[in-house]
Structure 1
Amino acid sequence: MELPVSFLENMKKLLSPEEFNAYLDSYSEERVYGLRVNTNKLTPEEFEKICPFEIKKIPWIDNGYYYSGKDKPAKDPYYYAGLYYLQEPSAMTPAHVLPIEPGDRVLDICAAPGGKSTELAAKLKGKGVLVSNDISNSRAKALLKNLELFGISNAYVISEAPYKLAEHFESYFDKILIDAPCSGEGMFRKEPSVMKSWVEHGNDYFVKLQQEITSYALKMLRPGGMLLYSTCTFSPLEDEQIVSRMLKEDPDLELVEPEWYEGFDHGHPEWSDNNQELTKCVRIWPHRMKGEGHFLALLKKKGESSRLKERQTEKAKMPQELFDFLQTVKKPLALDRLEIRQEKVFVHPDCRRDLKGLRIMRSGLLLGECLKNRFEPSQALAMALRADEYPNVLYLSREDDRVIRYLKGETIDLKDEESVEKGWVLICVDNYPLGFGKAAGGSVKNKYLAGWRWM
């Protein structure tokens, strides 16, 4: 791999000769692959018992595992059940470090394709609200799919510029994650194509974006709230110097040193304004750890944060067919926040802000659609359910060839011993939902979402 000459010169200034050579040697090593278990659906220990391929614990991520590049976990039924997210190990660190508590109001401001949002949402455990935003509408569509695949019910998916968010969410969020657009120097080994963008744009282009995003994010952070800033680059211009700028912009901010792992490197004050607090930042180098390059800083805003109690509002009137279906669902749903809009039925998170004027791609959980005297449950609802929260379930083992046929959109036949009632049936692989079908006459008509099908 031929690295840009100017990049190498920059790295020589950051690293000692010995470390610089070790960094170069890391390019001859095979990149590592990681997956993160969806704790919204199962524990890491439960996943270890059923995982069909070889995995090894990532030491600094509670629910993270290495897997071999020879395996294809994205083509496994468990992936389609939302049991894990494929993510580079170092990139798991920011969402792991940000201390999310159930009930928090959380913002992921540069969220697509969803690697960090899915973890933040899982840590919320269905309580509070996640605003998951990406300025790119096309990328936000992938973000929405991943959140729905994970069974997340309390998220807004928005596609807006940071300044528009700040107009609606001033001093609102308990926790904010900024995985900032950056020059991507830490990903050169994983994705060599990133070097082309680096040569074209350099660091200064991204510095301007980072300054803008962080300034608006600070306006949205509540007193007592915490903000996690991260990049996948090595440049101090985009790392320590951006953090130093935030500290000067808001005197109430202070750096918090996260739980330390022996492979981490401290931030370097000498690469910025010599503020010794910058040592509380974290640098991840690919020659020191089994992961790509990353930088993160955890900041807290002084003051006290008061938790809002959930509001109880009047339950919306609903069509009889919707009422009848929901009577069969055991999952607790905040039906006082139910809305029917153009036949689609949603349950909104408890946001308490006027969101008119924002490009909202999803507000909470899409339950399904009210059509002509019937209700059709959604793929999102299927993924948000547990098997024991719906009465009519078809349990299939991972080895059953009908699982793949279902994921491909085919009608599947029932076996004589399978006691499935006529009507809507929840299809599960080893107790984990995949989607809905409609049973009648010894077979199940496929209702798996067309855009999600096995290719």
Structure 2
Amino acid sequence: SLRVSLACSHAKEILHCLKEKYFRELQDLEVDGQKVEMPQSLSWYPEELAWHTNLSRKILRKSPQLEKFHQFLVSETECGNISRQEAVSMIPPLLLDVSPHHKILDMCAAPGSKTAQLIEMLHADMNVPFPKGFVIANDVDNKRCYLLVHQAKRLNSPCIMVVNHDASSIPNLQIDVDGRKEILFYDRILCDVPCSGDGTMRKNIDVWKKWTTQNSLQLHGLQLRIATRGVEQLAEGGRMVYSTCSLNPIENEAVIASLLEKSQGALELADVSSELPGLKRMPGITKWKVMLKDGQWFEEWKDVPSNRQTQIRPTMFPVKDEEKLKAMNLERCLRILPHHQNTGGFFVAVLIKKSPMPWNKRQPKVHQKLPQKTGDTEVTAANSGNGSDCIIEEPRLAENEESKKIQELQNSDAEQKKKEGVCGPPPSKKMKLFGFKEDPFVFLPEDDPLFLPIQ
């Protein structure tokens, strides 16, 4: 599939050239005895800017009849006007509903086709040459970060920054707001997590050889940690798209259900049924089983033997409480099946953050004045009822009684937090340090002597 850039000032001219010149030349064309199918526009992509063709790279490169078409695609791709991209991978950026002022985080960005699409959407308004928004593209693999840099160079955009972190423990960034430092929260987050890739079976032969049910069991925890870190950094009212190229519910609905459950109402699944008209989709599922590599099936966590509880986790199972399950609206998730529109398999869920996550809420401070000792007596402050503190003298407590009183204060504090629904943060994975790695970009301060000649 190929996509004409939304940010291209002459996108209509390129589209006209494709339709009226190169696509017409493909009519009644035969290569190696096989008739070439005409490219078809993706009906759900805006303004007919995305097209699907069955022409392989091998045919494009080696066929003399298609040489001019191939050269045109290469030249326009190098200057950022056209991008080759899997059709279903265009869906998550579209559902993010990006505007030029949005602050965007792409958590698992490499190789960068979706990142490029996000940058193009920032520049879609030709009346805004330098949008206020930006894209921070992250990937855990240092080498793959260079692919992101390559994508950024094609588009010549100042609104992109590439970072190299483990997405499950990506650090907070601070910004300067009116002279004070504040944590940066993102308006839009794309969370396209690592997955088993079973949705790519039609084009990826390796999946047939290497795929097992164990793949999803091993990835579920990582996917949940990345998604959790994503919603932590999402601004209130912001939108996060979670996506995989897998159709396994353990990597999809199980992650979303677990995230919704521990958010305690801070998140909700957005209803995007009216968006992208023309896209054939299936609703998310609410019932599934968990299978081990040896073929054992489990319907509930309680059925899992103790020696298997390191491979299978409680969050992999569907929610049994019917009221909770109904409130989650898992049917709002999107399942793209390969045979519906000749694409790969894909899963998408759009989450909206309504309030801070429970473990990010500021815990109320308990204002209790500790006893003050004066000689052999102990002085405590108490409220006399008229707004002033009165002093009460009490006999000095023994050491064991004093420690007991402090313990009671701590216990009452803990009980108060429980009542208010404040819970601790989920366990986070520590960022691994792999030794010295060259950064994709080198940032120079404004007073650096090298900066002036470059400028």
Structure 1 counterpart of 2:333:
281
| Aligned equivalents of 2:451, 2:253: Cα separation in 1 | 58
Q: 1:364 to 1:90 in 2, by over 3 A?
A: farther
Structure 2 counterpart of 1:206:
219
Q: 1:262 to 1:131 in 2, by over 3 A?
A: closer
Is 1:71–2:60 an aligned residue pair? yes
2:45 to 33, 53, 61: 61
Structure 2 counterpart of 1:123:
121
1:238 to 251, 259, 265: 251
How far apart are 1:201 and its partner, in Å? 5.0
Question: What secondary structure sits across from 1:362 in the alignment?
Answer: coil
Tell me if the contact between 1:263 and 1:284 (Cα under 8 Å) persists in the aligned partners: yes
> Which of 143-152 and 164-173 deviates more?
164-173
TM-score by length of 1: 0.58
Structure 1 counterpart of 2:106:
108
| Aligned equivalents of 2:5, 2:443: Cα separation in 1 | 19
Structure 1 counterpart of 2:387:
none
Is 1:193–2:193 an aligned residue pair? no
Tell me if the contact between 1:186 and 1:233 (Cα under 8 Å) persists in the aligned partners: yes
How far apart are 1:289 and its partner, in Å? 1.6
Q: Percent identity?
A: 27
| Aligned equivalents of 1:154, 1:363: Cα separation in 2 | 16
How far apart are 1:361 and its partner, in Å? 2.8
Number of equivalenced pairs = 290
| Aligned equivalents of 2:444, 2:3: Cα separation in 1 | 23
Unaligned stretches of 5+ in structure 1?
1-33, 305-356, 378-455
Counterpart residue type for residue 46 of structure 1: E
| Aligned equivalents of 1:365, 1:289: Cα separation in 2 | 48
| Aligned equivalents of 2:332, 2:202: Cα separation in 1 | 26
> Which of 207-216 and 189-198 deviates more?
189-198
Tell me if the contact between 1:166 and 1:216 (Cα under 8 Å) persists in the aligned partners: no
Structure 2 counterpart of 1:91:
89
> Which of 259-268 and 231-240 deviates more?
259-268
Report which of the two structures shows the higher radius of gyration computed on alpha carbons.
2
Tell me if the contact between 1:186 and 1:294 (Cα under 8 Å) persists in the aligned partners: yes
How far apart are 1:248 and its partner, in Å? 1.3
| Aligned equivalents of 1:361, 1:56: Cα separation in 2 | 37
Tell me if the contact between 1:267 and 1:278 (Cα under 8 Å) persists in the aligned partners: yes
TM-score by length of 2: 0.58
Is 1:167–2:172 an aligned residue pair? yes
Structure 2 counterpart of 1:361:
440
Question: What secondary structure sits across from 2:109 in the alignment?
Answer: coil
Q: 1:302 to 1:131 in 2, by over 3 A?
A: same
How far apart are 1:143 and its partner, in Å? 1.1
How far apart are 1:360 and its partner, in Å? 5.6
| Aligned equivalents of 2:203, 2:77: Cα separation in 1 | 22
Structure 2 counterpart of 1:218:
231
Output the aligned Cα RMSD.
3.1
Tell me if the contact between 1:35 and 1:84 (Cα under 8 Å) persists in the aligned partners: yes
Tell me if the contact between 1:176 and 1:227 (Cα under 8 Å) persists in the aligned partners: yes
Q: 1:358 to 1:214 in 2, by over 3 A?
A: farther
Is 1:142–2:131 an aligned residue pair? no
> Which of 279-288 and 146-155 deviates more?
146-155
| Aligned equivalents of 2:351, 2:442: Cα separation in 1 | 28
Is 1:265–2:295 an aligned residue pair? no
Unaligned stretches of 5+ in structure 2?
24-38, 62-69, 124-130, 175-182, 289-317, 357-435
How far apart are 1:49 and its partner, in Å? 1.6
How far apart are 1:208 and its partner, in Å? 1.6
More strand as a share of residues:
1
Tell me if the contact between 1:156 and 1:363 (Cα under 8 Å) persists in the aligned partners: no
Tell me if the contact between 2:280 and 2:341 (Cα under 8 Å) persists in the aligned partners: yes
